[in-house]
């Protein structure tokens, strides 16, 4: 008997890109295709990870390197305790943020350098990569407006617009380098239109899954 391994997907995007709005849609899509699905979040998703999340999003100023290592510590816990065991059971994992976030936010946003993030990623045990990454994207002004009107801002969200501009540009660079894995989903359009665009990529992905 062969057992089917679960599919590993991630969703990415700058704060205010609208990614969270579409997570359930992606989950339902996979469930309709017969998969069990879980959604993880970063930082967080494990007991320790949630404690690290609290430090990352609600403490006072952190050194950039401290911030970087905390994101990776949370990620290692998530990989070992949630992502791998679920994939092994044939359950699909949708990761709400993964390594691309560290490349965009810490590598570019905090100017630690993309090469450094890739070196640290190589130390993850194991260093896994999603089969499909959906990169949600909105005009910077739209994303910033959503952020300010929708919720109380956390430590990262309080950064100035220039920071998010840099993060967004880094995501575009990742998209260019990984055009097979990463697909851009614009959320400048209506939710229904975004879902239609999502379906195109999900259908394409499922054909080869």
Query: Where does this chain bind ligand TYD (CB under 6 A)?
Result: 15, 20, 41-43, 57, 71, 96-97, 101-102, 105-106, 154, 156-157
Structure tokens at 44: 């967080």
Nearer to ligand TYD, 186 or 206 (CB): 186
Nearer to ligand TYD, 86 or 101 (CB): 101
Report whether 140 contacts 186 (CB < 8 A). no
Give min distance, CB of 19 to ligand TYD, in A: 7
Q: Strand pairing of 182-186 and 92-96? A: unpaired
- Alpha carbon distance 115, 93 (integer Å): 27
Residue nearest to ligand TYD (CB): 105
Give min distance, CB of 160 to ligand TYD, in A: 13
Q: Strand pairing of 132-137 and 92-96? A: unpaired
Give min distance, CB of 179 to ligand TYD, in A: 22
Give min distance, CB of 57 to ligand TYD, in A: 6
Nearer to ligand TYD, 24 or 204 (CB): 24
Report whether 27 contacts 155 (CB < 8 A). no
Give Cα separations from 175 to 31, 36, 60, 75 (angstroms). 27, 28, 32, 21
3-state secondary structure at position 62 = coil
Sequence-separated (6 or more) residues with CB below 8 Å from residue 7: 30, 35, 92, 93, 131, 132, 209
Give min distance, CB of 31 to ligand TYD, in A: 22
Nearer to ligand TYD, 173 or 206 (CB): 173
Nearer to ligand TYD, 142 or 206 (CB): 142
- For the chain, what percentages of helix, strand and coil (3-state, to nearest 5) are there? 55, 10, 35
């Amino acid at each position: 008997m062969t057992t089917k391994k679960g599919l590993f997907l991630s969703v990415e995007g700058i704060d205010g890109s609208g990614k969270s709005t579409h997570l359930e849609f992606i989950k339902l899509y996979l469930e309709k295709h017969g998969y069990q699905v879980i959604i993880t979040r970063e930082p967080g998703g494990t007991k320790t990870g949630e404690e690290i999340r609290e430090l990352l999003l609600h403490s006072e100023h952190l050194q950039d390197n401290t911030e970087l290592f905390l994101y990776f510590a949370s990620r290692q816990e998530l990989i070992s305790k949630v992502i791998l065991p679920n994939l092994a059971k044939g359950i699909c994992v949708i990761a709400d943020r993964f390594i691309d976030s560290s490349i965009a936010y810490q590598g570019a946003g905090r100017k630690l350098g993309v090469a450094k993030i890739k070196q640290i990623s190589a130390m993850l045990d194991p260093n896994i990569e999603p089969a499909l990454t959906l990169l949600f994207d909105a005009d910077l002004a739209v994303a910033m407006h959503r952020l300010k009107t929708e919720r109380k801002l956390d430590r990262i969200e309080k950064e100035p617009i220039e920071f998010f501009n840099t993060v967004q540009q880094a995501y575009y660079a990742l998209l260019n380098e990984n055009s097979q894995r990463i697909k851009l989903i614009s959320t400048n359009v209506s939710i229904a239109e975004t879902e239609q665009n999502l379906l195109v990529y999900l259908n394409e992905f499922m054909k080869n899954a």
